[in-house]
Structure 1
Amino acid sequence: MGDSKFCYRCMEQYDASLHVCPACGFVESDTHEPMYVPPGTILHGKYLCGILLEYNGEGATYIGTDISTGKKVHIREYVPINLCTRVKNKPTISVNYNNLAKYKAFMAEYTELNKSLARLRNNTNIPPILDMFAENNTTYTIFEYIEGVKMLDYLKENAGELSWEQVSKIFPPLFTTIGILHNAGITHRAISPDTVYITDKGELKLSGFCVSAVRTANAGLEYELFKGYAAPEQYSANSSSRQGSWTDVYGVCALLYRALTGCMPVDSLSRLKHDDLHEPHELDSRIPRHVSRVIMEGMNLNGRDRIQTITELVTKLFEQPTEEEEEELESTTVLPDPVQSSYEQQPQYQQPVYEQPAYEQPQYQQPEPQNVIHQRSQRRNDNYSYEKVNTVDRIKVPIIIGLLLLAILMTLAVIIIHMFSNPEQEESETVKPKRPSVTENVIDEPDTTKAADTEMPDLVGKFYEHSKELWKEHFVLDADYSYNDDYENDMIFEQSIKAGEMLSQGQVVKVKVSKGKSSAYIPDYNGLTVDQYKNALDKAGISDFNYQFVESKNSYGKANTVVEIQVDGKPVKPNDFFSNKEGKKLTVYFVSETSAAPQYTTAAPPQTTAVVTTQAPVVTTQAPVVTQPPTNPREPVTNPPEPVTNPPEPVEQQPVEQGNEGGENPQ
């Protein structure tokens, strides 16, 4: 076996001569998302970056490995998509000067958040931070690799739900960790089955930490909220929408709701319009009534009336109800407002004591209330059986049964008619996902339009290519390109559907996308390579729609450097005005890397000198004598300008050595 290399997806080593990873089947490819770090990049001299795992408005997460130890890691990169761009085929971040203040502010918040998490590295329910460093004009955080699966996948593998006995065993350490985070001033805002992992040992790990602007709508960054688990106050950036520990209480209770019932909770934004969230016990009678009531209280839409702290939530969840409270819970069929719950009358449970390992005590595994409820309902049934039955009741039962049978027969007849009359409809219904048990009682009327279930985001000021990829599963973007002096190239400046309106899946949304500025001034090419001058053109406002690079056949200069610029066959100079709207092409001539020896178009012709001797005359040819320097001699810049978080500065020209290259005598 020859040399080995790392697979960019699973980070396992295999034979370098192979092109397919034998461990995971990953096929090598040069294609990758241009906005993110190319796989195979070495960061900080020790971390090999693999493929992109996930991204949001704050940054991106990659799989990676520590080359020095061979251990897998998760690499988190701060790269806010609507504030910066990346230099093509390089890991370097370029920041637009207009976004500089926001970029720095959010990066400072990102750094402080991860410093706070690093202080909690001994907590086993948070992936520890191994390293943090600044590079490529941004900040990277190295997390320990999580050996486990997302809670969402774990639930799918376990019949979609867990019992209260299972939940009461594995969730308490997570509750303790969230309480510790709140004491440290950290609010997670994204607790959901997508951010909670479960290991092979049954331990829960909390991930998905981001700056607050990513977890709040319209707060300055591309926001990412988990539908069904985000609290209502996260859908507004107003100062009146307070966020705090009660925001995470909502997420925890929504996670418990999903784990116990197998159903995703109704989105809080929809609940604000029409609250039809069913209590967990109504969906599964095995869930203890007091647990069901506490979960509903923790998902109260009013943040002030909601359970305020994790300590209060845990106390109410695991507190054994008294016999009187149990009777009240049993007798109540229609639940009042959760704010009026009797648990509010117990202030002694609000003491924030996270250190006590009281969650593991066996008395919290409580099958007794189930038994009590079952026994009491059985006694009521026994009493009812001794009551006298009159003649009307005897006739009423057969009539009801007959009507039900008639209804069933009619329903079957309708189904059979539809099966034979419209086979395409039958096929489409078979691939429909199974609805949660909450909505099984709702009859779907035939409708040719899809339900509007997605809120239209505000795309103005965001990049088209990224937005198209981000929202491709919800709606389709149809782009109309035009020049715009106020927006960068590929940036959306108008959308046909206003932000906040509801869309159906697959709906087409027309957007106007900027092709860049309508006019610009041609930047200086002195000493710049092809890649450097492309960046200079882009920054000047001349997009790739309006320029082309052509190899020069007769110009002198360093390989791969720009030597001349023309428009419509006429030479132009740096700082000349250029109109993007006129449809003219800016032709940039450069010297190829594979070009032959320099040709001196301005050199004097070869001179011959006769040397007279007594013997036969010998004629020798001297080397060409350069009478003047070439017209376009240029030296490349030894240190190419890196995009930095400072105002763009002009490129300094290097001194030109006159007539040195190519002037030596040929041997």
Structure 2
Amino acid sequence: MGDSKFCNRCMEKYDESMHVCPSCGYVESDEHNPMYVPPGTILHSKYLCGVLLEYNGEGATYIGADTTTGKKVLIREYMPINLCTRVKNKAIISVNYNNLAKYKAFMAEYTELNKSLARLRNNSNIPPVLDMFAENNTTYTIFEYIEGVKMLDYLKENAGELSWEQVSKIFPPLFTTIGILHNAGIIHRAISPDTVYITDKGELKLSGFCVSAVRTANAGLEYELFKGYAAPEQYSASSSSRQGSWTDVYGVCALLYRALTGCMPVDSMSRQTHDDLHEPHMLDSRIPRHVSRVIMEGMNLNGRDRIQTITELVTKLFEQPSENYEEEEILDNTSTVLLGTPGNAAAAALQEAPQQPVYHQEQPQNVIHERSAPVYKKPRRDDSYKYDKETTVDRIKVPIIVALLFLAIMMILGVIIYKLIVPPAEETTVKSSRRSSSVSDSAAENTTKESDKDKDTEVPDLVGQFYTYSKDKWKDFFVLDADFEYNNDYDNDMIFEQSVKKGEMIAQGDVIKVKVSKGKETATIPDYQGLSVEQYKNALEKAGIHDHNYQFIESKNSYGKTNSIVELQVDGKVVTPHSSFNNKSGKKLTVYYVSADSVAVQQTEAVQTTAAPTTTVAATTQAPVPTTQAPTSPPEPITNPPEPTDPPAPPVVDPPVEQPNEESGGEQ
């Protein structure tokens, strides 16, 4: 038997001479989606990337193996499909320049999310983060492989549902884990039978963590919401749809609903137009009534009226039922007995209207039971009816009314007398005094109202985020007032200081002052040889020289290829590539380039020179000579963008390199 190799689908080893995996039947020649990493690619010099398992608007998940230990792993690749693409037949990601800011901002959020998960690696209900690194112009996260099945498949194998006794045994560790995530500032937003796994040991594991934009409709990325389990506020990115721990409460309760009843909950968007979600107890009478009602409370369409935290949810689920619940259980059993009794319309109506939760019901009277059963009888209100007696209030209310009328008449008379006695001048003074007092009171009232505004918005950590993206993202919650400064530690447009600290509560519409980087104070001018105008702009941006510090001007007397760079100047002086440029000086780097018009003029001059009569050798030698550089050769195509370093920090993402178009040009 020869050397062994990993199967790209199941990651089991088999003989290298074979081309079909004996374990799963995978054929090495099977085609793969060219948008994703080719199976068999080695990442970070140790992780074998297998076939694609799933993908969404944030990225893709592959099965993989650690070649040093031979263990299976899950490889998560950040790749927002609507912001980037992949270089053909390579693992390298290419980003459209117009999407570069968004790409980097979402990648920073992705990195922070997985760093937070890595700090929770000791929690057995979350697949631990084993590694994180930057490569191929993106970031990869390595998770431990989950040995288990999705809750959805597990329910299908168990008659589609679980009993409350089973749920109360296996779900508490998951509740605890979600509470820990919330304390760490992580909102999952996708709790469902597709993201919860159950192992052979009966342990639940929570997966499917993504950046918030993937779990919210129209938030900048292609979103993925689980129908029936997504809260209504996830279908809108507006300020009125605030998300928080209560969003996960909805998902948990929807998961409990599915597990206990065997039915998928009605989608929250459909419920907003016609809410026909039945209580779990009405679908299965074995579900305790208090559990049923807690689940319905946790699935309230209004986030403010919903159970707010996992702790509150667990407390209500597992607390002892109150006497009211016990009474209702007895009533429910009694109504079941009465259902077959002829002529008992009240009992039948009770069974036919399960949509409305019934908290207090009156026991029907004068009913012949089919069998003996303990019946709880609540006293009827009309059993204790008595005639109303005359009270003290009744005796004095007439005198009070007469006194109030007399007081009103006296006040009117007082006003009339005051008008007749007080001189006009004094009246003006009094009015002025009253007006001044009123203005003061109004100002004080406004100040009080301003200070009493609901502080319902928690300030996020803005440092390290891009200002342009953050300004739009949080515009419905607060206003960012930016002060732009050069900073050597932060990229252009990145926030490096905020006036309100992370975690503080503010009112909607409050102003937060932020300092935004204009880039580094000094930068090195990149070489322009072989680059077109657009390519050189990208090179300048990457070098730290941004559009407010450079300008492109068409060269009128230079020869060269269309759309190519011929000369660099700063403050009228020629500079060379690789020299230092001071962004803070206020001077601009002027880039001279050859346009299509310049080439046409040169060709016309060449034709005219050829057609002119030849005089002497001396005259020929006095022909115009280019004052700058000689014509440059066509630029070589660049296919491989530089790879990022220093994992696991977000890598520098390069825009896709375009081939120079010899037929186009023009001023920039």
TM class by shorter chain equals: 0.5 to 0.7
Question: How far did residue 323 of structure 1 move?
Answer: 3.3
Query: Could you tell me which residue of structure 2 aligns to residue 47 of structure 1?
Result: 47
Say whether the 8 Å CA contact 2:138–2:653 is kept in structure 1.
no
The CA deviation string for residues 474-501 of structure 1, in whole angstroms up to 9 with x for no partner, is xxxxxxxxxxxxxxxxxxxxxxxxxxxx
Matches of 2:227 and 2:659 in 1, distance apart? 48
Aligned: 1:303 with 2:303: yes
Shift of 1:17: 1.2
RMSD, aligned α-carbons: 3.7
Asked if the contact 1:92–1:136 (Cα under 8 Å) also holds between the matched residues in 2, the reply is yes
Correspondence for 1:111: 111
Q: Cα offset for 1:325?
A: 2.6
Q: Is the 8 A contact 2:641 2:654 kept in 1?
A: no
User: Which residue matches 2:99?
Assistant: 99
Deviations 1:44-67 (A, max 9, x none): 111000000000000000000001
- Structure 2 match to 1:18: 18
| 2:129 alignment partner in structure 1 | 129
Q: Where does residue 245 of structure 1 map in the other structure?
A: 245
In structure 2, relative to structure 1, the CA distance for the partners of 1:303 and 1:633 (3 Å cut) is closer
- Give 1:645's aligned residue: 653
Q: Deviations over 1:491-531 (max 9, x none)?
A: xxxxxxxxxxxxxxxxxxxxxxxxxxxxxxxxxxx989xxx
Deviations 1:133-152 (A, max 9, x none): 11111100000000000000
Give me the whole-angstrom Cα distance separating, in 2, the residues matched to 1:379 and 1:131: 72
2:198 counterpart of 1:190: no
Superposition pairs for residues 408-487 of structure 1, below 5 Å? Answer: none
Specify whether residues 649 and 146 from structure 1 end up closer, same or farther in structure 2 by C-alpha distance, changes over 3 A only: closer
Which has the greater radius of gyration? 2
Per-residue CA deviations over 1:230-258 (Å, capped at 9, x if unaligned) read 00010001011011111101000100111
Contact 1:127 1:146 in 2 (8 A): yes
Q: CA deviation at 1:206?
A: 0.1
* Cα distance, 1:267–1:648 mapped onto 2, change above 3 Å: closer
> Could you report, residue by residue, the CA deviation over 1:237-294 in whole angstroms, capped at 9, with x for unpaired residues?
1011011111101000100111111111110110111011111111111111111111
Following the alignment from structure 1 to structure 2, what is the Cα–Cα distance between the partners of residues 274 and 651?
Answer: 55
Q: CA deviation at 1:39?
A: 0.6
Over residues 329-381 of structure 1, what are the superposed CA-to-partner deviations in whole Å (9 max), with x where a residue is unaligned?
5547556877x989xxxxxxxxxxxxxxxxxxxxxxxxxxxxxxxxxxx9954
Verify the 8 A CA contact 1:120 1:128 in the aligned structure 2.
yes
Aligned CA distance change for structure 1 residues 303 and 95 (closer, same or farther; 3 Å)? same
Aligned to 2:495: none
1:31 and 2:31 equivalent?
yes
CA–CA distance in structure 2, aligned partners of residues 48 and 292 of structure 1: 47
Conserved in 1, the CA contact under 8 Å of 2:639 and 2:657? no
Give the Cα separation in 1 of the matches to 2:642 and 2:16: 33
CA distance in structure 2 between the aligned counterparts of 1:650 and 1:336, rounded to whole angstroms: 61
Q: Tell me, which stretches of 5 or more residues in structure 2 are unaligned?
A: 333-349, 361-366, 375-528, 539-593, 598-630, 644-651, 661-668
Q: 1:380 to 1:218 in 2, by over 3 A?
A: farther
Report the Cα offset of residue 31 of structure 1: 2.0
Q: Kindly tell me: are residues 282 and 635 of structure 1, through their superposed partners in 2, closer, same or farther at Cα, counting changes over 3 Å?
A: closer
Answer yes or no: is the 8 Å Cα contact 1:97–1:645 preserved in 2: no
Give the equivalent residue in structure 1 for 2:202.
202
Match of 1:59 in 2: 59
Give the letter aligned to residue 264 of structure 2: M
Please tell me whether the aligned partners of residues 8 and 50 of structure 1 are also in contact (alpha carbons under 8 angstroms).
Answer: yes
User: 1:204-219 to 2 correspondence within 5 Å?
Assistant: 204-219=204-219
CA, structure 1 residues 308+641, in 2 after alignment: closer, same or farther (shift >3 Å)? closer
Tell me if 1:325 matches 2:333: no
- The one-letter code sitting in structure 2 at the alignment partner of 1:161 is E
Distance 1:84 1:341 in 2: 55
CA distance in 2: counterparts of 1:16 and 1:164, whole angstroms: 50
Instruction: State the alpha-carbon separation in 2 of the partners of residues 646 and 324 from structure 1.
Output: 65
Q: Does 1:260 align with 2:273?
A: no
CA contact (8 A) 2:642 2:654 kept: no
Aligned-partner SS, 1:139: strand
What SS does the corresponding residue of 2:17 show, helix, strand or coil? coil
Change (3 A) 1:335 1:326: farther
Pairs aligned (count): 389
* Distance in structure 2 (CA, Å) of the matches to 1:280 and 1:119: 37
Aligned to 1:198, the other structure's residue is in SS state: strand
Q: Give the superposition deviation at 1:27.
A: 1.1
Paired-residue identity, %: 80
Contact 2:324–2:359, Cα closer than 8 Å, also in 1: no
1:211–1:104 distance in 2 versus 1, CA, 3 Å: same
Q: Distance in 2 between matches of 1:336 and 1:19?
A: 59
Retained in 1: the 8 A contact 2:282–2:354? no
Q: Give the whole-Å Cα distance in 2 for the aligned partners of 1:254 and 1:15.
A: 47
Counterpart Cα distance in 1 of 2:303 and 2:359 = 15
SS in 2 for 1:101: helix
Please list every run of 5 or more consecutive structure 1 residues that lacks an aligned counterpart in the other structure: 343-377, 386-525, 540-573, 578-630, 653-667
SS in 1 for 2:371: helix
Q: Which residue of 2 aligns with 1:177?
A: 177
Change (3 A) 1:635 1:202: same
Partner amino acid for 1:200? Answer: D
Letter in 2 for 1:144: E
C-alpha distance in structure 1 between counterparts of 2:68 and 2:279, whole Å: 52
Cα distance in 1 between the residues matched to 2:44 and 2:96? 24
Structure 2 residue matching 1:54: 3-state secondary structure: strand
CA contact (8 A) 2:198 2:205 kept: yes
1:226 Cα deviation after fit:
0.2
Q: Distance between the aligned counterparts of 1:171 and 1:216, measured in 2?
A: 26
Matched with 2:388 is none
**Counterparts in 2 of 1:159 and 1:336: CA distance versus 1, 3 Å:** closer
Shift of 1:223: 0.2
Q: Distance in 1 between matches of 2:233 and 2:370?
A: 46
Residues 119-144 of structure 1 show CA distances to partners (whole Å, capped at 9, x for unaligned) of 10000000000000111111000000
- TM-score relative to the length of structure 1: 0.54
Q: Which residue of 2 aligns with 1:158?
A: 158
Q: Does the 8 Å CA contact 1:290/1:329 hold for their aligned counterparts?
A: no
Give the Cα–Cα distance (whole angstroms) in 1 for the partners of residues 301 and 329 of structure 2.
22
Q: TM-score, normalised by structure 2?
A: 0.54
**Which position in structure 1 is the counterpart of 2:465?**
none
Provide the residue aligned with 1:382 in structure 2: 371
Question: 2:235 corresponds to which residue?
Answer: 235
The answer (yes or no) to whether the contact 1:279–1:296 under 8 Å persists in 2 is yes
Aligned amino acid, residue 21 of structure 1:
C
Q: Deviation at 1:637? A: 8.3
| Aligned-partner SS, 1:382 | coil
Q: Report deviation, 1:639.
A: 9.2
Per-residue deviation, 1:297: 0.8
User: What's the secondary structure of 1:178's corresponding residue?
Assistant: helix
Which residue in 2 is equivalent to 1:508? none
The corresponding residue for 1:351 is: none
CA distance in 1, matches of 2:302, 2:282: 22
Partner of 1:430: none
> For the residues of structure 2 that align with 1:13 and 1:575, how far apart are their CA atoms?
59
1:379-408 Cα deviation digits (max 9, x unpaired): 9542599xxxxxxxxxxxxxxxxxxxxxxx
* 2:189 and 2:215 in contact (8 A); partners too: yes
How many angstroms apart in 1 are the aligned matches of 2:207 and 2:369?
49
The CA distance in 1 between the partners of 2:102 and 2:637, in whole Å, is 31
Deviates more, 1:225-234 or 1:25-34: 25-34
Deviation track 1:401-439 (CA, whole Å, cap 9, x = no partner) reads xxxxxxxxxxxxxxxxxxxxxxxxxxxxxxxxxxxxxxx
Q: Per-residue deviation at 1:30?
A: 5.4
Alignment of 1:427-576 (within 5 A): none
Summarize the Cα distance change of 1:4–1:636 in structure 2 as closer, same or farther, 3 Å threshold: farther
Aligned to 2:238, the other structure's residue is in SS state coil
Structure 1 residues 436-476: Cα deviation after superposition (integer angstroms, max 9, x where no partner): xxxxxxxxxxxxxxxxxxxxxxxxxxxxxxxxxxxxxxxxx
Q: Distance in 1 between matches of 2:78 and 2:370?
A: 63
1:16 to partner: Cα distance: 1.2
Question: Which letter does structure 2 place at the counterpart of 1:382?
Answer: R
**Do the aligned residues in 2 keep the contact of 1:641 with 1:651 (CA within 8 Å)?**
no
Q: CA deviation at 1:632?
A: 12
CA distance in 2, matches of 1:635, 1:186: 48
> Quick one: distance in 1 between partners of 2:373 and 2:200?
50
Contact 2:218 2:236 in 1 (8 A): yes
What does residue 83 of structure 2 align with? 83
Q: Quick one: structure 1 residues 15 and 170, their matched pair in 2 at CA, closer, same or farther if it must change by over 3 Å?
A: same
